[in-house]
Amino acid sequence: MLVGIIGAPNKGKSTIFSALTLAEVEIADYPFTTIKPNTGVAYVTRECVHKELGVVCKPRNSLCADGVRRIPVSIVDVAGLVPGAHLGKGMGNQFLNDLVNADALIQVVDVSGTTDVEGKPCTWSDPAIDVKMIREELAEWLAKIIMAHAGALSRRPDGAKAIEELLSGFKVTAGQVAKAADANSLTLSNINWSAERAKNFAASLLELNKPIIIAANKLDKGSMEKLLALKAELGTETVVGCSGAIELALKKAAKNGIIAYLPGAPSFSISGIATPGQEKALNYMLKYTEANKGTGVQEVLNKAYFGLLQNIVVYPVEDENKYADHFGNTLPDAILMKDGSTVLELAAKIHTDLAKNMLYAIDVKKKMRVSKDYKLKDNDVLKIVTAGK
């Protein structure tokens, strides 16, 4: 699964990307800093199951510190979108096309309101306008593709399948097409939609295919009142206040051994030698994180993967008594699976041969056998049994 970071220029997308990945990307205070999409690895965080089981884990595909498992995920940072992007304005369709493989989107907005919808400095700009602009551009872009194939679609009685094929690169499913059409009372047989109806359909389809969470960035420069106003307009579950700049500074300080900090934690401690200037800055950032229960950046990523994409975490093992693999690593792998997935799908994700030869699985916690179609639960620990074993 892939999460894309989007937004208008100069809202802090690259800063948040760097804070999540600690990759060296260009960060500057002007529009169109990002010319090519940056991809990287970030880490979602969950309480590790080893605490529940009373053992000490030895991770292989992830990390664990203070009982928190950090699981690698993919993210992509795409350059800023401006009004008229679907018509080629700014960086235009290049960046819209860079988003097609994303399963969900994090839209970064400037909650301090000091940059306008095009990323230019201003005294005040409502971040809700940015949210609406991005959604409008994405809907226009998708509707434009649909209308470009209107003739072919009008000859197909199986419209859901036709649009699924047309938008296969977007990971669109026939089920999503049917839901979006139903939401707008549109027929899918021999499609003959107006441009307006196509846009309404596209907007509904994007909600299903590319769900969005809002990172209300630059909260350290803004105010809680502005954040609460944005949440009131867009929904509290949709908006997360954050400071990419503080998260990035803390990650770099931790990397240099100046502080002890775990991503997402509400506080940190100075563990190394800091200059008077660094100590002053760190004290300011500590007050911010304590007041806001963290920087908010990790929360945004977690909500994207566990909320929007509805993932759960499962732990496959080979030794059900020691919770280990054949090398003796305890709880070596933490794997993200879509909620509702089966244990057979888990086996297939690990290796196709494992799924091909699977007989059943063992729920290690309950010490009981489960079938191939057993629906996975969050924090399940499972042994997959195959033919010949």
pLDDT of residue 109: 97
CATH homologous superfamily for the domain 311-386: Beta-grasp domain (3.10.20.30)
Any idea which residue has 């089981």 for tokens? 53
Q: Summarize pLDDT for 33-65 with one digit per residue, the tens.
A: 554 667 899 999 999 999 999 999 999 999 999
Q: Summarize pLDDT for 291-301 with one digit per residue, the tens.
A: 999 999 999 99
Q: Would you say 343 and 351 are in contact if contact means Cβ atoms under 8 Å apart?
A: no
- The Cα 64–Cα 54 span in angstroms is 15
Residue 136 has pLDDT above 70, yes or no: yes
Phi, psi (rounded to 5 degrees) for 260: -105, 115
Q: Summarize pLDDT for 294-337 with one digit per residue, the tens.
A: 999 999 999 999 999 999 999 999 999 999 999 999 999 999 99
Q: Summarize pLDDT for 219-260 with one digit per residue, the tens.
A: 999 999 999 999 999 998 899 999 999 999 999 999 999 999
- The Cα 221–Cα 42 span in angstroms is 25
- The Cα 308–Cα 102 span in angstroms is 12
CA distance to 63, 64, 98, per residue, from 321 (Å): 22, 21, 46
pLDDT of residue 90: 55
